């Protein structure tokens, strides 16, 4: 993901990083990346290491579940911004 973000910023440099669609895409990518590292990765590790008794409890934790549901929406918004390029 980091290399892709770097390439994207490099390509957008000529367009101008201050345009709304570029700045919005970068902000959403940062939010998605932080959410993935800070919340979803830790949750998946706890889920993998959970025994049978704790599995259901870890599976139904609300914040990681919400982050996992919001993540695809963020990426769809990023795609929309990059395709439509609103002014």
* Domain presence at residue 6: no
Q: What's the number of domains the chain is made of?
A: 1
CB atoms near residue 52 (< 10 Å): 6
Which residues neighbour 77 within 8 Å (Cβ) at sequence distance 6 or greater? 28
Note the pLDDT tens digit of each residue in 47-81.
899 998 899 888 889 999 899 899 999 999 999 99
- Phi, psi angles (nearest 5°) of residue 53: -70, -35
* Domain presence at residue 28: yes
**How many C-alpha atoms does 47 have within 13 Å on its Cβ side?**
13
* Domain presence at residue 31: yes
Note the pLDDT tens digit of each residue in 7-50.
777 777 777 777 888 889 889 998 998 998 899 889 889 889 99
* Domain presence at residue 7: no
* Domain presence at residue 27: yes
What residue numbers bound the domain in which 21 lies?
17-84
* Domain presence at residue 8: no
* Domain presence at residue 38: yes
* Domain presence at residue 5: no
Q: How far apart are CA 40 and CA 71, in angstroms?
A: 10
């Amino acid at each position: 993901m980091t290399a892709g973000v770097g390439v994207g910023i490099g390509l957008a440099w000529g367009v101008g990083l201050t345009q709304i669609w570029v700045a919005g895409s970068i902000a959403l990518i940062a939010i998605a990346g932080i959410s993935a590292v800070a919340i979803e990765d830790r949750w998946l590790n706890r889920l993998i290491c959970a025994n049978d008794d704790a599995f259901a409890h870890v599976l139904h934790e609300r914040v990681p579940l919400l982050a996992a549901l919001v993540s695809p929406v963020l990426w769809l918004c990023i795609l929309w911004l990059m395709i439509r390029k609103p002014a």
